[in-house]
Structure 1
Amino acid sequence: MNRISITLLAIALPAGLAAPAFAQEGRTLGTVVNGNTTIEFKAADSSDIDLQKLQTWSTFASAHPDVAHELAYKPSLINSDSYTSRKHPELGEFFSAHPDIREAMAENPGNYVAIPPRPGE
């Protein structure tokens, strides 16, 4: 996947997932049964998402698609000082300027980072 596609996904996916949830809050969107495990997918409760924080993160993510991609697959890196200060100092600077976003991302990473679909999905 090229950088432009990842950038567009980093911006559009969180916003695209949040927008329909306003109209469908609490509605079951689908169910998956795997053996004795049933997973029910419900529309997200978007009332607690700060859209300003989301926009600020989306702007950073579009400028740093590799970082956004890595955090999508391993959101625990949000709390790794070695990752944010040594490997990606620009992310460390972003989190220093926006500690509230780091805290919100650590608490609910799915509101900010999403795994992009793989080709053919």
Structure 2
Amino acid sequence: MTRLSTLLFAVAIPVAFAAPAIAQEGKTLGTVVNGNTTTIFMAADTSDLDMQKLQVWSDFASQHPDIARALAYKPSLIDNEGYAKNHPELGDFFSAHPDIREAMTENPGNFVAIPPRPGE
């Protein structure tokens, strides 16, 4: 009976702490419990994102996945002229969309994200 009580307590505590976060606006993507720490992953609030810029970048990234992946792992490449020179399609894109380059430099996480590894 003690094990059952402990198990119920272990489940109830994270749920109790997660309830206020779940009540907030946004979709809960997942929850991870590690000891006394509960991490709740929520969908980002897109109200402050320029969705048109994001769509233009997304179109480019889907056509050039290797470039998008490289920028995700190393956002400093966004302002690297040598990288842009070695990848003329990126240089052309940034020439045509300097506002997107500026937005990516300020907040690269809004545009590029490290894709999960297999099994993650």
Quick check: TM above 0.5?
yes
- Give the TM-score normalised by the residue count of structure 1: 0.66
CA distance in 1 between partners of 2:45 and 2:100 (Å): 18
Structure 1's consecutive aligned runs of 4 or more residues displaced over 4 angstroms after TM superposition are 29-33, 38-43
Structure 1 unaligned residues grouped into runs of 5+: 1-22
Q: Which residue of 1 aligns with 2:111?
A: 112
Instruction: Kindly provide the CA deviation profile for residues 50-90 of structure 1, in whole angstroms up to 9, marking residues without a partner as x.
Output: 11001100110111111001011001100111111x21111
Question: Does the 8 Å CA contact 2:26/2:45 hold for their aligned counterparts?
Answer: no
Q: Does 1:92 align with 2:118?
A: no
Which structure has the larger Rg?
Answer: 2
* 1:80 equivalent in alignment to 2:89: no
The corresponding residue for 2:51 is: 51
Q: Which residue of 1 aligns with 2:26?
A: 24
Structure 1, residues 12-51: CA drift from partner, whole Å, max 9, x if none?
xxxxxxxxxxx418x8x65777xxxx97755433211111
TM-score relative to the length of structure 2: 0.66
How many pairs align?
95
Give the 3-state SS of the residue equivalent to 2:118 in structure 1. Answer: coil
Q: State, as a whole percentage, how many aligned pairs show the same letter.
A: 67
Q: Secondary structure at the match of 1:24?
A: coil
The answer to whether the 8 Å contact 2:61/2:68 transfers is yes
Q: Which has the higher contact order (CA 8 A, sep 6+)?
A: 1
Counterpart CA distance in 2 for 1:106 and 1:39 is: 28
CA RMSD of aligned residues (A): 2.6
Partner of 2:11: none
**Whole-angstrom distance in 2 between the partners of 1:96 and 1:57:** 13
- Aligned mates of 1:74, 1:52 — CA distance in 2: 24
